[in-house]
Amino acid sequence: MAPVILLCVVALASVAACQLLTAEQLASAVPGHLELDPEFRKLHPNIPGPSEDVDSFIVGGVESTPHSRPYQVGLYIPASTSTNSFCGGTLINARTVVTAAHCVDMRVGNISVFMGAHNMPPGGDLNIVARFAGDVVIHEGWNRAILLHDIALIRFEVAVPLSASIIPILLPRDATHDYLGNTTLVSGWGRPSDSINAISPVLREVTSWVISNYACRMAYLGTVQDSHICISGAHGRGTCQGDSGGPLVINGVLIGVVSFGSAFGCEVGWPSAMARVTSYLDWISQNQATV
């Protein structure tokens, strides 16, 4: 029998509150993405890609110091009765995770949420807290055909116990700040190579900087709107498949949720595009779980 990981809501010690995931299911989760989805290609034929030479992971970056990004969340999302996709997320309070709408809009069951992890799939690290979540709020304006409002919330019935390895991130206070030129940090467990259709075994991160929406719009032929924020892909830096839904951060503040990039590859210099968090502060406030 394959090894299993038991996901339980800690305060509810009941079989109904738990879910068994086999090690095989965890290891075979497909990195979530928009760029290589055939339907995405039909809807957005002008966005660069696809290519046979996709280098799919946090590129131009390094392995994160373990537990140095305590807001980072890993999500296993059931895509069918037998397969899971993988995305990132960000803890914004003890009962709420923010992620990309495209990660959760086609799920067929509850989401396995891991917090406090460095390795993925998660092992026996005592820092890890897991939740099995079905309370998902997708932005009402989300539509794959227009790539707008790619943001969603996952809410827990029971608050997550916070620790040095699990700390919610701060949200912006100034909704008018555009962050142009500011240095950013983005992290995730995107695929480590083309030959392995699996996520990175360790959390990785990369620094870049915010570019103008005008420049980003030129790269993506008009797709980018005011509610997007983009970082430079210069020097082969950026996000890739499996990083979707993860955090774009400046000085410990969440400013973006990873949405899409170029399917030509992650080292070709195209920007990475995110949902701009300052555009959604009211929506987040109205829909997040209270603590």
What's the one-letter identity of residue 131?
Answer: R
**Residue 244 annotated in active site:** yes
Span 72-168+281-287 CATH architecture: Beta Barrel (2.40)
**Which one is catalytic: 33, 102, 149, 228?**
102
- Say what the pLDDT of residue 233 is: 76
| pTM score, whole prediction | 0.85
Q: What is the DSSP-derived secondary structure letter of residue 235?
A: G
**Residue 228 annotated in active site:** no
Do strands 30-31 and 84-93 pair parallel, antiparallel, or not at all (unpaired)? parallel
Residue 151 in contact with residue 142, Cβ under 8 Å? yes
Backbone angles phi, psi at 102, to 5 degrees: -70, -15
- Say what the pLDDT of residue 267 is: 44
Q: Do the domains 72-168+281-287 and 169-278 sit in the same CATH topology, yes or no? A: yes
Q: Where are the beta strands (DSSP E) in the chain?
A: 4-8, 18-22, 30-31, 62-63, 72-78, 84-93, 96-99, 111-115, 129-133, 135-138, 152-155, 183-188, 204-211, 228-231, 247-250, 253-260, 272-276
- Say what the pLDDT of residue 123 is: 79
pLDDT tens, position by position, for the chain (291 residues)? 333 333 443 332 222 334 557 777 777 777 666 665 666 666 666 565 544 333 334 445 688 999 999 999 999 999 888 888 999 999 999 999 999 999 999 999 999 999 999 999 887 788 899 999 999 999 999 988 888 999 999 999 999 999 999 999 999 999 999 999 999 999 998 765 545 566 789 998 888 899 999 988 887 777 899 999 999 876 544 555 558 899 999 999 999 999 987 544 444 457 888 999 999 999 999 999 998
**Residue 118 annotated in active site:** no
Q: What is the DSSP-derived secondary structure letter of residue 280?
A: G
C-alpha 278/C-alpha 287 separation (Å) is: 15
- Say what the pLDDT of residue 261 is: 72
Q: Roughly how many angstroms between the first and final C-alpha of the chain, as a whole number?
A: 40
C-alpha 282/C-alpha 248 separation (Å) is: 19
Tokens of 127: 């820092």
Pick from 270, 14, 257: nearest CA to 138: 257
- Say what the pLDDT of residue 51 is: 40
Under CATH, which number does the domain 169-278 receive? 2.40.10.10
**Which one is catalytic: 44, 150, 165, 200?**
150
Helix or strand or coil: residue 17? helix
- Say what the pLDDT of residue 8 is: 40
**Which one is catalytic: 56, 85, 244, 259?**
244
- Say what the pLDDT of residue 42 is: 67
C-alpha 52/C-alpha 191 separation (Å) is: 15
Backbone angles phi, psi at 232, to 5 degrees: -65, 145
Tokens of 194: 């083309």
- Say what the pLDDT of residue 162 is: 97
Residues 6+ apart with CB under 8 A from 117: 72, 74, 125, 127, 128, 203
- Say what the pLDDT of residue 120 is: 92
Domain locations in the chain? 72-168+281-287, 169-278
Q: How many angstroms separate the most distant Cα atoms in the chain?
A: 54
